[in-house]
Structure 1
Amino acid sequence: MKRCWTKIPVVFIIFAILFSGCSSDEEKKAAHFEKGTTYFEKGEYKSAELEFRNAIQIDPEYIDAYERLGETYLKLGDPKGAFKEYSMVAKLDPENTDAALKLATFYMLGKKPDEAREKVEAVLSREPNNIEALFLMAGLHDLDKNLYEAAAVFRKIIDLDADQARAYMGLARVYARQGKPDDAEAQLRKAIQLDVKAIKPRLELVRFYASRKEFDRARSQIEKTIELNPGNSELYIVLGNFFFQMKKPSDAEHAYLKAIEISPTDIKPYMVAAGFYDASDMVEKTLAMYEKALEIKPDDVNIMTTMAGFFLKHKKMEDAQHHLAKVLEERPNFFPARMMKGEIATMKKDFTEAIGIFDQLVKEEPRSARAHYLKGVALLGKGELQSAKTSLGKAAELNPKQEKANILLADIAMRERAFDQAQKLSEAVLSDNPKNFQARMILGNALMAQGKTGQAEIAFKLLIAENPESPAGYFRLGVLQRATKDYDGALTSFNSALDRNPMLMDVFTNLVLVYGAKKELNTALERCDAQLKKVGDSKVHQAIINNLKGGLYMAQKRTDAAKKAFEAAIQLNPDFMPPYYALARIYLAEKQPQKAIDQYESILQKKPGQAGPHMLLGTIYDMQRKYDMSEKHYRAALDINPQFAPAANNLAYLLSTRDGNIDEALKFARIAKEKLPDDPSVMDTLGWIYYKKALYGNAVQEFSDSLEKLSDNATVNFHLGAALFKKGEKTKAKAYLEKALRLDEKFDSADEARQMLSEI
């Protein structure tokens, strides 16, 4: 009999097709989930992630897959990804206890206690005796410093299950914080009695003893734990850390190596040993440990990122970039690697790239204090002072213990002459870390700038007491003593600084100035000759000392000797600017500038490829106000040597004061700043260009730095006063404008200073 397929109902065929399709999807979904689970259990988390994702693609409401994907992201070190998946579970199944507690944990770690409490309370309303929820609630009470409530919750857990060692340990921590050490120890002993071989309770007892400085008892407990668990490498790491803290490096090293011996295929002992060697400045041993860890796990992004950080610390940029490139190839969005990439860009002064990286990082992790801090550092490097303050302020807000951010903010406050703010910021750092060197230095400088000389003296003497081998404290104390005309005290302080480092020319310059103030010019010259022997073959240092000798000879009216000293300084260091001005002033004072011009023109005819003579000619014409000729010679010097900083600086200033191309002026000023970052004349020039471009915050920063070294220069005082005036800080501006006129009633911008003062 023939079968007639055409008579089978169409509806039945469609149903059969749909049914088979659904069956196929269910099978595929289950297969992906099963494969993902297998990969997860084997530790192949990237493959597991792909399979769970495939299952979710088939069924976007597959709760089990979302849960396993959350666990996978935790294993991959991606808490942000895990949070997203657990949030999806909670959305699909609002009464899913596990997801709610996981989210509460994330909120606690993210310092969002209100959100965490909401999740925990929701679970406890359904399951009042849920032990995991009770542990989280105890933790929340602890965060809020509600110790009695925390203790009550831990006791409730013990009532529900007397075998919960974690509850005894939690209760012990509460008792310790309440000042009940005997009760705390008793609870820890109870936790240990539940399982004498258990590691966590004994290590908690170790921490308890260490916190009470009972180090022998702490060590005894570590050794007892090792005796009970001889094959546990983690315990040898704990022992090594204990010895390291006790300043017993050889014992620490032995313990770390024992951990490696016990677990030769576990990367953790190698990484810990590497950290120990790095802290001990054993570079080769550090690198050897990292390389062994990488042999075991060649694709581990955490090892490669840590190695990149090690190379970065030791200024091996290429090695650091090589390892980071491998990390980012494997994990393009790996946050720590991208952070380090931004750090490298900052160190290479590629501030634009660095800021772009940190901008993206703070968008992704707006509560990352470090990302905000590093962005602030990059912005500071680029000269964007106000934006830098915003980022650094955010870093300090997110992490009030972020010393570096607060110190940079204090430093910026000093540059902006906001001395009271600098004082407050440095005092805040010192309240947490009384031995912070930079904070103590800024505090002393801020107090000195406010005229609080007694307090400043105490700050500098504390700096010396805490760091007796550092010359910095002696130098700043000497500067204070020189300012208060305690010349004998200043000489003692400057000599103490030079005993520790004879190459410090700022210190030696101040020493010479003190001898000058005491009218002991011959003694000053003798010290210069003695210092020339101490600095050896350093032409930079020799140039500075010869320039000082020239000034001393001028004070003695020994003009010929002064000329020779200034010429020697230029010969030794053509980039050093002061002797050019000194020689030009001598020629003008002698009323024979043309003789000097003819002399240098003759030198150029014989040897035209020299930038120095052009620089001297430019300086002489500058002082004669023959600006077209000075510009011609500065440009000629730069044609010979495009990186010749003195000419770049003077040409930049010339262009900015004569309404020339301000952007061209900025280009030359930046050349000078890069070559001579600590030269006060260069700072003043760059500040004036910022002033012309209406970047008053940046201008104040540069003028403030310049004034540190040129405190009695009328023009620099006027520049700082003018920038503060334009910035709207007229009370501060007044002091500098008045000082400029006191120093020199007829300096070039004296009328402008008077006009500003009339408007205040």
Structure 2
Amino acid sequence: MTLHHPLRTVVLCAAIALLGACSSKADRIQSGLDKGAEYVRLADWDKANVEMRNVLQIDPKNAQAFFLAGQISEAKGEIQRAYSNYSKAVELKPDHTDAKVGLARIYMLAGRLADAEKTLSEVLSANAAHVGALTMKAALTARQGDPVGAMAQAKALAEAQKTPVIDVSMLLAGLHANQGNPTAALAVIDSTLKAHPKNLSLLQVGAQITANSTDETVRRRAVDFFRLATEAAPKNIDLWNAWAIHHTRLNELDLAEAVLRNSVRAQPDDSQRTLALLDFMGSRRGKDVAEKEFLAAIAAKPKEAKLRFGLVNLYRNSNRTADAHRVLQEIIDTGKDTPSALTARNLLAADLLAGGKVAQARALNDEVIKASPRDGAALVMRGRMLLSDGDARSAVIDLRAAAKDQPGSPEVAAL
């Protein structure tokens, strides 16, 4: 059948539009993967997570996105989630060797050494020269109680590379450090940094080795490693906090405070950084100094509830219960039915209940449940009050509802 010219034009335009749409979709996926990988390199886990969620919304069966999500979860210490993501990547793409190496690493962390060995064998049977798998095999050898064998494997692997491989170097440095030889460990790190001068993982390992060393000459280098690491990843709060802890352990409180203040300057909108500074002030500079800092921070960011909750904790730790309750009431008054206001009601109600003011506690509890019927903390509290009233049947209903959202909660189980 021959199409008339107008119809041919319509079909051609539709085909071109479809190709354009497919290309645009593929471009968005690749862009998300590239951005996510870069955020992983910078240890900006929140942004990396957003990119992976976006990719998986477009393509729910993208193996590489699940692999990167596994790396993100692993770095955040979310081991079960990392395992799920790596497993999904392998399910979708059985020959995804990097995901299998990630699985082997999770198995090793969980003490499932036989599973780790089996998974690595699968990778190496397909590619005997897979550097990641060989690195993990050396790490597994060390975990199995053979540090000498692990060192031999790691050295042979490092010598076989034309340019230093980051994971191999980190393993080799770690093995040297575990043998009490920080000088050799740092020599490996320094050599690899020449090829990868801004690699965050290398800088972190260097900071960890030097900060934990009992050799003062070695330990003095920790500051340089921390400085370079925070310059490479200024959004990584863990690096800043580790740096401050290093100075605190050495009783270098002025330096620790300076690091925490620089952390706040690097990301002024991150309230967790401000809280880290204020917690330090409370524990090291005195509660009066910390209170002034808290009030100044709250004045600068009056809508930031986390700062007010931090002040509540300071007052509680100072046995200033009335002041703690006053701040909680301020959060309630300004927040209405926001999550922070509901949390404040729960905290205030718990204090009132502990102080024998049952009617006031019950009124606050009713407000929370009215605004959020499945609020776990409120349901547990109402369950407690119902038990005290002798209404065990109604209490069990509340506690069962709370248990659905808080499986394994010791508090719920105890009641």
Q: What TM-score, normalized by structure 2, do the two folds share?
A: 0.56
Question: Could you tell me which amino acid in structure 1 is paired with residue 314 of structure 2?
Answer: M
Alignment of 1:307-326 (within 5 A): 307-313=277-283, 314=285, 315=287, 316-320=290-294, 322-323=296-297
| Matched-pair contact (CA < 8 Å) for 1:277–1:286 | yes
Which of 128, 133, 154 is matched with 1:188 structurally?
154
Q: 1:208 to 1:114 in 2, by over 3 A?
A: closer
| Matched-pair contact (CA < 8 Å) for 2:203–2:229 | no
Question: Could you tell me which amino acid in structure 1 is paired with residue 67 of structure 2?
Answer: L
DSSP-derived class of the 2:95 partner = coil
| Matched-pair contact (CA < 8 Å) for 2:90–2:100 | no
Alignment of 1:728-747 (within 5 A): none
Structure 2 equivalent of residue 276 of structure 1: 246
Distance in 1, matches of 2:145 and 2:351, equals 51
Which of 301, 310, 325 is matched with 1:343 structurally?
310
Deviation at 1:155, TM superposition (A): 3.3
Distance in 2, matches of 1:236 and 1:85, equals 25
Distance in 2, matches of 1:202 and 1:84, equals 30
Residues 240-269 of structure 1, C-alpha deviations (whole Å, 9 max, x = no match):
543543445x53662134447878955588
1:255 paired with 2:224, answer no
Deviation at 1:188, TM superposition (A): 1.7
* Percent of residue pairs identical: 13
Residues 389-421 of structure 1, C-alpha deviations (whole Å, 9 max, x = no match):
xxxxxxxxxxxxxxxxxxxxxxxxxxxxxxxxx
Distance in 2, matches of 1:307 and 1:129, equals 47
| Matched-pair contact (CA < 8 Å) for 1:100–1:119 | yes
Residues 182-239 of structure 1, C-alpha deviations (whole Å, 9 max, x = no match):
332232223322337445423323333444xx21x34322235325646958767755
| Matched-pair contact (CA < 8 Å) for 1:304–1:327 | no
| Matched-pair contact (CA < 8 Å) for 2:263–2:273 | yes
Which of 185, 201, 218 is matched with 1:221 structurally?
185
Which of 174, 180, 185 is matched with 1:207 structurally?
174
| Matched-pair contact (CA < 8 Å) for 1:256–1:272 | no
Q: 1:67 to 1:318 in 2, by over 3 A?
A: farther
Distance in 1, matches of 2:83 and 2:102, equals 12
Structure 2 equivalent of residue 154 of structure 1: 120
Structure 1: gaps (5+ residues): 1-11, 34-58, 333-337, 364-370, 387-655, 665-694, 699-723, 729-760
Q: 1:276 to 1:83 in 2, by over 3 A?
A: closer
| Matched-pair contact (CA < 8 Å) for 2:177–2:209 | no
Structure 1 equivalent of residue 62 of structure 2: 96
Matched residue count: 328
Q: What TM-score, normalized by structure 1, do the two folds share?
A: 0.34
Distance in 1, matches of 2:358 and 2:241, equals 53
| Matched-pair contact (CA < 8 Å) for 1:192–1:201 | yes
Structure 2 equivalent of residue 165 of structure 1: 131
Alignment of 1:47-62 (within 5 A): none
Which of 230, 242, 255 is matched with 1:285 structurally?
255
1:123 paired with 2:92, answer yes
DSSP-derived class of the 2:80 partner = coil
| Matched-pair contact (CA < 8 Å) for 1:71–1:82 | yes
Over alpha carbons, which structure has the higher Rg? 1
Distance in 1, matches of 2:30 and 2:191, equals 42
DSSP-derived class of the 1:281 partner = coil
Structure 1 equivalent of residue 403 of structure 2: none
Deviation at 1:77, TM superposition (A): 4.1
1:134 paired with 2:100, answer yes
Deviation at 1:147, TM superposition (A): 1.4
Alignment of 1:646-665 (within 5 A): none
Q: 1:179 to 1:68 in 2, by over 3 A?
A: closer
Residues 364-411 of structure 1, C-alpha deviations (whole Å, 9 max, x = no match):
xxxxxxx9xx999x579715469xxxxxxxxxxxxxxxxxxxxxxxxx
Structure 2 equivalent of residue 533 of structure 1: none
Residues 532-554 of structure 1, C-alpha deviations (whole Å, 9 max, x = no match):
xxxxxxxxxxxxxxxxxxxxxxx
Q: 1:383 to 1:142 in 2, by over 3 A?
A: farther
Structure 2: gaps (5+ residues): 1-5, 316-323, 361-381, 393-415
| Matched-pair contact (CA < 8 Å) for 1:73–1:82 | yes
Deviation at 1:130, TM superposition (A): 1.9
Q: 1:344 to 1:70 in 2, by over 3 A?
A: farther
Q: 1:222 to 1:298 in 2, by over 3 A?
A: same
Residues 335-362 of structure 1, C-alpha deviations (whole Å, 9 max, x = no match):
xxx65642322333237469979x948x
Distance in 2, matches of 1:306 and 1:354, equals 23
Q: 1:219 to 1:83 in 2, by over 3 A?
A: same
Residues 434-455 of structure 1, C-alpha deviations (whole Å, 9 max, x = no match):
xxxxxxxxxxxxxxxxxxxxxx
Structure 2 equivalent of residue 111 of structure 1: 80
Distance in 1, matches of 2:70 and 2:240, equals 34
Residues 602-636 of structure 1, C-alpha deviations (whole Å, 9 max, x = no match):
xxxxxxxxxxxxxxxxxxxxxxxxxxxxxxxxxxx
DSSP-derived class of the 1:111 partner = helix
Distance in 1, matches of 2:81 and 2:126, equals 28
| Matched-pair contact (CA < 8 Å) for 1:312–1:344 | no
Distance in 1, matches of 2:49 and 2:259, equals 34
Q: 1:255 to 1:318 in 2, by over 3 A?
A: same
Distance in 1, matches of 2:211 and 2:138, equals 26
Distance in 2, matches of 1:123 and 1:240, equals 38
Distance in 2, matches of 1:287 and 1:300, equals 18
Deviation at 1:167, TM superposition (A): 1.7
| Matched-pair contact (CA < 8 Å) for 1:70–1:82 | yes
| Matched-pair contact (CA < 8 Å) for 2:282–2:314 | no
Distance in 2, matches of 1:66 and 1:225, equals 31
Alignment of 1:333-732 (within 5 A): 341-348=308-315, 349-350=324-325, 352=328, 360=339, 378=347, 382-384=351-353
Distance in 1, matches of 2:91 and 2:32, equals 21
Q: 1:76 to 1:129 in 2, by over 3 A?
A: closer
Question: Could you tell me which amino acid in structure 2 is paired with residue 175 of structure 1?
Answer: T
DSSP-derived class of the 2:251 partner = coil
Q: 1:168 to 1:325 in 2, by over 3 A?
A: farther
DSSP-derived class of the 2:145 partner = coil
| Matched-pair contact (CA < 8 Å) for 2:177–2:185 | no
Distance in 1, matches of 2:83 and 2:168, equals 30
Q: 1:339 to 1:133 in 2, by over 3 A?
A: same
